Amino acid sequence: MRPETDIGGRAAEKHAPVNGRPVGTVRTALTSAVPTAAERLRRIRPRRPKAPRVSRGKMLLYLSLLGPGIVTASAGNDAGGVATYANAGANYGYGLIWAMVLLIPALAIVQEMCARMGAVTGKGLTDLIREEFSLRWTAFVMLTLLVANGGIVVSEFAGIAAAFELFHVSKYISVPLMGFVVWYLIAKGSYRRVERVFLGMALLLLSYPVAAFLAKPDWGDVAHQTVAPHVQFNAAYLFAVVTIIGTTISPYMQMHIQSSVAEKGVSPRDYAVTRADVYVGSIFANVTGILIIVATGATLYIRGVTIQSAADAAQALKPVAGSFAGILFGVGLLGASLLAAGVLPLATAYGLSEAFGFEKGVNQGWRDAPVFLGIFTGLIALGVLVTLIPGLPLVQVLIFTQLINALALPFVLISVLKLVNNRGLMGDYRNGVIYNIVAWTTTVIVSMLSLAILINTLLGFFGLGFA
């Protein structure tokens, strides 16, 4: 059968009916009534094709893959992180924002490599370390992380106590109660529910941008000092830079994100969404840190107010930026501490269980994963009980855990780079040349600065440290 043709002799296109009758063929033109104005316009100017629409199912898939990147990066803004950023603003104004900006790609690169390994291999970081490296290497990394993470868990519950005391709630009520809430959420919940709650806690960090705007900073000065900072070449300034880097990139973050991606079941096919999640999380976490520096730099620095903790910063903000700004700072501290109080024990439980081949996972019960849940429960109990000790020397605890973290971080980063470039493990998902150059440069710089923290802390015991 011969195809219908238009007047120019070309095969005619079938169009959808208009006003109840088909259009666009010679037969239609001869047999239909006088065309309407809309039909004449359609023949002169073809209808522009509609943009492809994302189906509801595909959109839900994208949303379901979000979470590990935002949660892990936000957990880095814990009680110690908030205190570090607040101190940086109080002591140097906007003079250290440039370091936070440079840390955005550094954090994103490290987190992305671990997330990619989780999607490609379906295994956690210490699973791969155990399989690909020696037992001594695995045992050393895990021992240092267990000790360091145990100390940091204590600091998170101290942050919870300090945040509640801003609202006149005793730590003897708040700490046991919040410890039980965090434990129950993870020990009795599913991965999906845990992740949703963690994302909700991360949203509490949005109180810091509001606090920063309430502080009424000179945004022109903020921008100027970000792109053209006055870098100081003295020991105290260098140590402040090093502590910011050590706070922003912590070993437990790499373990948590890889284990979370693996447990969530993200595949290489779906990985593009998870990679975007990692990048968004890295930007969100570091911008939050920048705004903490802005808030304290605009208020405390110009008045010469010094602080020792995030709670001190919240109290100091009230008279100079208003009580609401202080309250918002306290809410942010509570959200950050609660989030890290869940993520840190969870990351440690993942790491130890993977390293020694035990069953693990938030979706597992006590019968299936007793070691995993036992480690998690033990760390929560440790954090709660130690925080309730009267006169706890929290500063000394943080210094000691900082020392252990500085010791472990280079080993973790080197392990990550060796694993992600393993052809037999990652296949076509290995790092490219340019990515490797950036990743190794980041690793070398971070490792050298972590070594500086280690040396400074050791010298500090003899009164010879930088600060």
What residue segments make up the domains of the chain, in order of their start? 1-51, 74-420+427-460
Q: Is the pLDDT of residue 260 over 70?
A: yes
Which range, 43-52, 203-212, 354-363, 377-386, has the best average confidence (pLDDT)? 377-386
Percentage with pLDDT > 90 across the chain: 19
What is the pLDDT of the chain when averaged over all its residues? 78
Burial 186-208 (b: 16+ CB within 10 A, else e): bbeeebeebbebbeebbebbbbb
Decide which of 233 and 224 is more confident: 224
Token pair of 408 as six digits: 């472990």
Please count the CA atoms within 13 angstroms of the CA of 311 that sit on its side-chain side: 16
Contact predicate 93/302, CB 8 Å: yes
- Phi and psi angles of residue 466, each rounded to the nearest 5 degrees, phi first: -65, -45
Q: Is 93 left (phi over 0), alpha (psi -120 to 50) or beta?
A: left
Q: Residues 289, 94: contact at Cβ < 8 Å?
A: no
Quick one: average pLDDT of 30-37? Answer: 48
**Average pLDDT for 292-311:** 82
Q: Which of the four pLDDT bands, split at 50, 70 and 90, describes residue 118?
A: very high
Query: pLDDT tens digits, residue range 71-102?
Result: 887 777 777 788 888 888 989 999 999 999 99
Query: What's the token pair of residue 342?
Result: 């869940």
Separation between Cα atoms, residue 431 and residue 410, nearest integer Å? 19
Hey, what CATH topology would domain 74-420+427-460 get? Amino acid/polyamine transporter I (1.20.1740)
**Residue 183 to residues 122, 224, 372, Cα–Cα distance (Å):** 26, 45, 13
Q: Which position has the higher pLDDT, 292 or 22?
A: 292
